[in-house]
Structure 1
Amino acid sequence: MDKDKYRIIKISKEALFEFIYEKFIENQEEYLDVNTLEVMNSFEIDFQNGNFIFTAHKSEDENGNITPLPKEIDLVKLMDKMEDTTSTMFTKNRYVELSLKEVIDIQER
């Protein structure tokens, strides 16, 4: 690159969250200690408050049937009620592993 040239990227909030989501998909093995072939992901974004929540759960049951995110899980409520799981993505222990009951309990706080 020439010494007096600058390469610049400027993106919208929507594009920024899209980038974050794609990075989570790309790096979920590292971030969540999962095998990407065995999980399904869901996410939600709160553009107004700048929050992002990303989940992974087993993609198939013991019979090989697809297992969608349970309808009892409301990511908007969970994002609103749940504390941050980490202050940075550049450390270990970034995530928490919760049961369906624990997730519902947090949503109902």
Structure 2
Amino acid sequence: MEKFTGYYEFNNAEYYALIKVTSKYNLMFNAMKLYIEHVGGYDNLDHMRIEKAHPTKISEDEALLKFIKCEPHQDMRVREVMQVFKSADNSVLIVDESLL
């Protein structure tokens, strides 16, 4: 079965995050699970739903632009940034700086 990739931006959640998900199914559900596991702020998916912390799906181009503009990547070469971006699967690409 083919895998799909999605980019999800959490603007309405407790902390900002941009998450890349690669899966065979239910990309948004997996993005929300990754948010809970790696970013925090919520105990479970039901808590996220109650708080209306649903992510917004964005295009790969939008995600890449945000990723490039992120401060840690500004001093990297384009090739390096692209490698990191493309190789990241099921991971948080950008997280709220207050958590760093």
TM-score normalised over the length of structure 2: 0.28
Structure 1 or 2: larger strand share? 2
- TM-score (normalizing by structure 1): 0.26
Larger relative contact order, structure 1 or 2 (CA cutoff 8 Å, min sep 6)? 2
Which structure carries more helix by proportion?
2
